[in-house]
Structure 1
Amino acid sequence: MADYNRYGHSYGGGYSSHTPPPSAPPAPAPTTSAPPPPSYGYGGYPSAYPPPPPQAAGGFGYGPVPVAFPPGTHPDVKRAFHAADRDGSGAIDEHELQGALSTAYHRFSIRTVRLLMFLFNDPASSSPSRMGPAQFVSLWNCLGQWRGIFDRYDRDRSGKIDSRELTEGLRSLGYAVPPSVLELLIANYNNGVPRNGALDFDNFVECGMIVKGLTEKFKEKDTRYTGSATLTYDGFLSMVTPFIVP
Structure 2
Amino acid sequence: MAYPGYGGYGGHMPSHAAMMGGPPAGGFPGQGSFPGTFAPGTFAPPPAVNDPMWGYFTAIAGQDGEIDAEELQRCLTQSGFSGSYTPFSLDTCRIMIAMLDRDMTGTMGFNEFKELFVALNGWKQNFMMFDRDRSGTVEPHEMAQAVASMGYRISPQALNAIVKRYSKGGRIFFDDYVACCVKLRTLTETFRKRDVMQQGTVNFQYDDFILCTMAV
What range is the shorter-chain TM-score in? 0.7 to 0.9
| Residue matched to 2:48 | 69
CA distance in 2, matches of 1:174, 1:46: 28
- 1:134–1:67 Cα change, 3 Å: farther
Distance of 1:219 and 1:46 partners within structure 2: 34
> Are the counterparts in 2 of residues 161 and 198 from structure 1 also a CA contact under 8 Å?
yes
Cα–Cα, structure 1 residues 121 and 88, in superposed 2: closer, same or farther, change >3 Å?
A: same
TM-score, normalised with respect to structure 2:
0.76
Indicate the percent of aligned positions where both proteins have the same amino acid.
Answer: 27
Q: Distance in 1 between matches of 2:213 and 2:66?
A: 27
2:41 alignment partner in structure 1: none
Partner of 2:5: 14
CA distance 1:152–1:70, shift in 2 (3 Å): farther
How many pairs were matched up? 194
Alignment of 1:180-191 (within 5 A): 180-190=157-167
RMSD: 2.9
- Per the TM alignment, residue 157 of structure 1 is displaced from its structure 2 partner at its CA by 1.8
State the match for 1:224 in structure 2.
197
TM-score (norm 1): 0.68
Q: For residues 103 and 183 of structure 1, do their structure 2 counterparts lie closer, same or farther at Cα, with a shift above 3 Å needed?
A: farther
Equivalent of 1:93 in 42, 45, 68: 68
Match of 1:205 in 2: 178
Aligned equivalent of 1:111, options 91, 99, 112: 91
Separation of aligned partners in 2, 1:185 and 1:121: 23
CA distance in 2, matches of 1:232, 1:99: 37
- Of 145, 152, 159, the residue aligned with 1:168 is 145
1:134 aligns with 2:111: yes
Paired amino acid for 2:109: G
Residue 137 (structure 1) shift: 0.8
- Kindly provide the amino acid, as one letter, of the partner of residue 13 in structure 2: G
**Gap regions ≥5 residues in structure 1:** 1-9, 24-39, 57-65
Contact 1:117 1:129 in 2 (8 A): yes
Match of 2:123 in 1: 146
In structure 2, C-alpha distance between the alignment counterparts of 1:143 and 1:121, rounded to whole Å: 16
Paired with 1:160 and 1:79, the residues of 2 have a C-alpha distance of 33
Is the 1:122–1:135 Cα contact (8 Å) retained in structure 2?
no
Once residues 22 and 198 of structure 2 are traced to their aligned partners in structure 1, the CA distance between those partners, rounded to angstroms, is 42
Q: Report the Cα offset of residue 230 of structure 1.
A: 2.0
Q: Secondary structure at 1:69's aligned position in 2?
A: helix
